[in-house]
Structure 1
């Protein structure tokens, strides 16, 4: 497993050093803070931030898992796969793998997201429509080990991955 302490991290404030302190004024809801307006909208609205890829590989992979020996779960996965293909035809959607493949311990299918707009539309949709299935969401940065572990997010029950053969990006 790729442990967080094996990596170095840049400060989240990199590029924002030396600015005026933020106000402590509360917003209308009485809980959140009033933020000063930005000079321009974050570029993260239109392209994934480095080192996430914005190329043919896609910025994010979503792996949606099902247990092939459970007929109801397999049927649901097939129906979800078809619905995604119909509702999100612009996404790259792979076949249903009816046996474990690569680092994935269960049957699954994969969806690739290429833009923050697709991510913003598909992930909330999947939260509501994935039913009993678990989903792994990970970026593509070229460091497969870190992407599938330390940078990964799960919907539903996290599942084990076989990461022994994955490559770590050499800095």
Structure 2
């Protein structure tokens, strides 16, 4: 049985990718905007197509270890069923998306071919 790895504050910087689809786009925008406003984190573009290794539409939130311990519980409490992929930023893309990969909600299978 696979268990979902919960986020751990072990790195200097992170990305959180909020996954959504057409029916949850407005919710994802609300969550990301609130995260940016409340936690002063950088919110990226809303990709309404597959980008990078992500198997769903997504929006990236960039943040540091300094806000990890407040942002991650906030995202968990406010994600309203959306899956959020969290990973460390170490400079090693493959490790960042595998060994240093964590989930809030359902884990999704990433397309890692680009990193191999």
Q: TM-score, normalised by structure 2?
A: 0.84
1:154 aligns with 2:103: yes
Q: Which one of the candidate residues 35, 42, 47 is aligned to 1:84?
A: 35
1:113 aligned partner: 63
Q: Which structure 1 segments of 5+ residues have no match? A: 1-47
- Secondary structure of 2:115's counterpart equals coil
2:4 aligned partner: none
Task: Give how far 1:137 is off.
Answer: 0.9
Report the structure, 1 or 2, having the larger strand content: 2
1:140 aligned partner: 89
Cα pair 2:53 2:112 within 8 Å, conserved: yes
1:4 aligned partner: none
2:79 aligned partner: 130
Please identify runs of 4+ aligned residues in structure 1 that moved more than 2 A.
Answer: none
Distance 1:155 1:133 in 2: 8
Larger RCO (alpha carbons 8 Å, 6+ apart): 2
Q: Which one of the candidate residues 89, 98, 111 is aligned to 2:48?
A: 98
Task: Give how far 1:141 is off.
Answer: 1.0
**Aligned residues: CA RMSD:** 1.6
Distance 1:126 1:81 in 2: 9
Distance 2:108 2:53 in 1: 11
- Highest Rg: 1 or 2? 1
Q: TM-score, normalised by structure 1?
A: 0.59
Report the structure, 1 or 2, having the larger helix content: 2
